[in-house]
Chains A and B, each alone.
Chain A
Amino acid sequence: KAGVTQTPRYLIKTRGQQVTLSCSPISGHRSVSWYQQTPGQGLQFLFEYFSETQRNKGNFPGRFSGRQFSNSRSEMNVSTLELGDSALYLCASSRSAGLSYEQYFGPGTRLTVT
């Protein structure tokens, strides 16, 4: 089956602009999580969506937002971009079944803010 896909793969934006990233989960996965990865801060959790509802949120400012659609596809938006938002943005889809848990990451979107 197809893996998690993210678009675009690379993006260059200017400070103050906004950006929207997209994530398509594995078929059958209803949970989508977003993460930011930087060399300095490592991997940080942004938020998780399940059945179109934000279930959990990390410690990021309100400029970072997301949503999930009825087909489980998810988007995240970053408004008023800052240089420090340059990072690899990863999404992951997951499914829990009883005591088991599976999660797969997409290839990421590399965002550069200039």
Chain B
Amino acid sequence: QKEVEQNSGPLSVPEGAIASLNCTYSDRGSQSFFWYRQYSGKSPELIMFIYSNGDKEDGRFTAQLNKASQYVSLLIRDSQPSDSATYLCAVNGGTGGFKTIFGAGTRLFVKA
């Protein structure tokens, strides 16, 4: 079992729809959770950081964390073609210490 699992996709959604990206993690002691967006050929950029159970909203992005079920999700409302990218989930602070573990990423394609 991978430590951080994501569906590799591609996830295809029409413009204006809600894109839902999911991530599960194996280390129950994990404390910090991150979502990154990476465009092809570019560096990752941090779009969401969450550490408490529940929802965190930032603009069109909402991160949802459920520690009991060990999953963190990212919702993108009103998806735009410019949201087409790979989204990486990362987890930090588990039994292995504060070394960040990344998922393999989910490719999102937003159709105009």
* Co-complex (A, B): yes
A residues sitting closer than 8 Å to B (CB atoms) are 33, 42-45, 48, 55-59, 90, 99-108
CB of A71, distance to nearest CB on chain B (Å): 22
- CB-CB under 8 A from A55, the residues of chain B are 98
How many residues on chain B are close to A (CB under 8 Å)?
A: 18
Given A90-B43, A103-B46, A105-B43, the answer on whether A42 and B102 have CB atoms closer than 8 Å is: yes
| Complex interface bits, B88-102 against A, C-beta within 8 A gives 1, otherwise 0 | 101000000111111
**Is B44 an interface residue when CB atoms closer than 8 A count as contact?**
yes
Mostly, the A contact residues are: strand
| Closest chain A residue, CB of each to CB of B46 | A103
CB of A26, distance to nearest CB on chain B (Å): 13
Given A42-B105, A43-B88, the answer on whether A56 and B43 have CB atoms closer than 8 Å is: no
CB of A31, distance to nearest CB on chain B (Å): 11
- CB-CB under 8 A from B103, the residues of chain A are 42
User: Are A45 and B102 neighbours in the complex by a CB distance under 8 Å?
Assistant: yes
| Closest chain B residue, CB of each to CB of A103 | B46
- CB-CB under 8 A from B18, the residues of chain A are none
Given A56-B99, A57-B99, the answer on whether A42 and B43 have CB atoms closer than 8 Å is: no
User: Are B98 and A105 neighbours in the complex by a CB distance under 8 Å?
Assistant: no
User: Are A45 and B99 neighbours in the complex by a CB distance under 8 Å?
Assistant: yes
User: Are B102 and A56 neighbours in the complex by a CB distance under 8 Å?
Assistant: no
CB of B26, distance to nearest CB on chain A (Å): 15
